[in-house]
Chain A
Amino acid sequence: MNRLKNSPLALTVLAAVLALVFAVAVTAVVLSASGFDPLSTFQAMLDFGTKPDSVANTLNRASTYYLAAIAVAIGFRMNLFNIGVDGQYRLAAMLAAAAGGAIALPPVLHQAMIIIVAMLVGGLWAGIAGVLKVTRGVSEVISTIMLNFIATGVIAVLLQKGRLGHQVAGSDNIGTKTIAPSGRVAGIPYPGANLQVFGLIFLAVAVGVVFHVVVNRTRFGFDLRATGLSATAASAGGVNARRMVVTAMLLSGAAAGLIGMPQLLGASYTYGLDFPTGLGFTGIGIALLGRNHPVGIAFAALLWSFLDQSSQILQFNDIPKEIVAITQAAVLLSVVVVYEIVRRLGLRWQQQTVAAELAERGPAGTKEVAA
């Protein structure tokens, strides 16, 4: 108990586990109330979720979720609420796919070009919100939501025949020109699975490491965190708050641009009507769950992805798959509450410890203060 008191990390882990247990309990109640047996349901989810194909797909999904959550977390660390990650990654993925399909380069260069285009597009799109905020005082919450809609519109306009859209014969899909093999990223075989793990899962890992190093080990990261904690204090300390806002939005957007890359270069090779949408919003929940910490987000992304994956078996058993949405919502809600409770408990323990130490010293301490 004593060690627990002194370790914030252990407290965080404890909080997360408590939240998960609570969420599972809520799910069990909902399942029972709807006339399903919770134990066999959880068993089925676990069995299905641990099949080789499911593990591969869980990892794939988690890698995109992870990138999405990091993009959101960069903003959060600065107290910026970038809700526009969704539009940023979709627009970035589409234009990067179009560029990758139009220009053929030797391997490595080709992939690098596509990824750089995606980061530029994502960054610039988010940068619009940053510039609006510092020059016109527009809340980034509003502007990024609006930019999501505009991104959807821009994609709709560009993804037409005669523009960036190409229609495969016999298909009702429409997508950008397929990226040549030189621009693709090979998958990693997973033992026993038909599906391959996205090669760009390493990109997600690298982004997490860079995020950690930049935020915790650089001057820029310090300024970022300081501005996030108190903009006025940071300004007084010589931080250019306006520049920080724009830079943070650019970086958040650039990270958002990467979200679509594992899917685009690892499986789709084209941005079509069936490209995954809504990942940016999932990222917000995962960033919250992972407390904006690169390791926390990794666990959160894996958990979320596992729940999404294992939910597929529910319908197969005639259980509504929305049950899993309840679990996810319960995790998210309870984790916020539990983190707060744990924070207050930690504070109280700290105060008690200090008080006890003071009491031990007794009158001597009082004298010192008096003197």
Chain B
Amino acid sequence: MRRALKISLVTVTGAALTLSASACGGKKADSGDGGDTKKTIKVGLAYDIGGRGDKSFNDAAYEGLQQAKKTLNVDVKDLEATKGESDNDKQQRLDLLASSGYNPVVAVGFAYAGPLGKVAAKYPNTKFAIVDDSSVKAANVTNLLFAANQGSYLVGAAAALKSKSGTVGFLGGVDTPLIKSFEAGYTAGAKKANPKIKVDVKYISRGTDFSGFSDPAKGKTIAEGQYDAGADVIYHAAGASGNGLFDAAIEKKKFAIGVDSDQYLTAKPAAQPYIVTSMLKRVDTAVFNFVEDASKGTTKAGEQTFDLKNDGIGYAVSNPEAIKDVQAKLDELKKQIIDGTITVPNS
């Protein structure tokens, strides 16, 4: 037994050494000090839980970053959060970016509010932006806000107009105040287009359980239930879980509405005919503009709201076959929201 253990240990260690020796030409890692300086601007971005690959909110931020990388020739670095981490970890992540010369730094999601406040005070010369939060105020912090309820209002109207059954669905990821404002806008829009419409609201998870943003299987099950219960158009605000909605839509041959990005463009071909439209929350534009401003040194601190008026919010028309018959009505509503005739509720 003893010998066997020794031999196996020696073998494993040996193998590890051989492999590591052969991989010496591989990528080297550094500990965060310094780094190369050939490009003048280094842009840092920190995601909240969920991270890249949700084909929705976080990916939209990533998209803006990639666009900046291409057109502005800047260096980018994006870091993801770990499940169950604390404020300290977020603070250190932002600190790591700022201390390594990343400027500007973009924090994606409300959970960064507290940590950002502390880091922004420590690095007064670094420009920061935070998406979806206006509680942090500092001379070097830009708050990127979105009137997502306005866009949700429009797709709510679209859903009600497309519905033949008289029932439309809302599939929320987690019942956070943010997602509830999507729901409020959607319901109001649907009722505006058809006062008799029934809105079937379901959330995948609730409270502190954020799994609802990254659980396509559960999203699919719930969406199937909503379709079976009579809904024939469902709008999701559930991040990566929304992909489950599209799978359900294919199976039930019913309509779905995407969120944040134009999901018609990223969906699999089988799902495309069923995606009527997507509520566009242009996180990509916001991130790109902010980086561009930073590269010119023209960032403005404080709130910067993206809404229907400045096209920071909108609805997608990439599936003309599905949307064209209601487009005129939607554009009319859009005009009324912009000129203030309609006020969209927030909660």
Contact = CB atoms under 8 A, between A and B. Distances in A.
Interface of A: 18, 21-22, 25-26, 28-29, 31-33, 35-41, 43-48, 53-54, 57, 60-61, 90, 152-153, 155-157, 159, 161, 167-174, 194-195, 263, 267-268, 273-279, 282, 308, 311-319, 321, 341, 344-345, 348
B2 A37 contact: no
Given A25-B16, A155-B207, A315-B80, A44 B31 contact: yes
Dominant secondary structure of chain A at its interface with chain B: helix
Nearest to B79: A315
Contacts of A172: 110, 132-133, 176-178
Interface stretch (B85-93, B225-233, B276-284): B85-93
A366 B334 CA distance: 102
Interface string B188-221: 0000000000000000011111100000000000
B88 A267 contact: yes
Contact of B27 (A18, A169, A268, A318): A318
Contacts of A341: 1, 5
Nearest to A171: B135
A169 B135 contact: yes
Contacts of A38: 16, 20, 23
Query: For the side of the interface on B, what is the size category?
Result: 35 or more
Contacts of A274: 87, 111, 114
B164 interface: no
A22 B208 contact: no
Interface string B5-40: 100010011011001101110111111100000000
Given A159-B207, A194-B122, A312-B93, A39 B110 contact: no
Nearest to B46: A315
A321 B207 contact: no
Interface string B146-190: 000000000000000000000000000001111000000000000
B79 A316 contact: yes
Contacts of A60: 86, 88
B110 A173 contact: yes
B77 interface: yes
Contacts of A279: 84
A41 B29 contact: yes
A170 B88 CA distance: 21
Given A21-B13, A44-B29, A308-B82, A344 B1 contact: yes
Contacts of B132: 172
Contacts of A282: 84
A156 B31 contact: no
A170 B178 CA distance: 11
Nearest to A308: B82
Contacts of A22: 9, 12
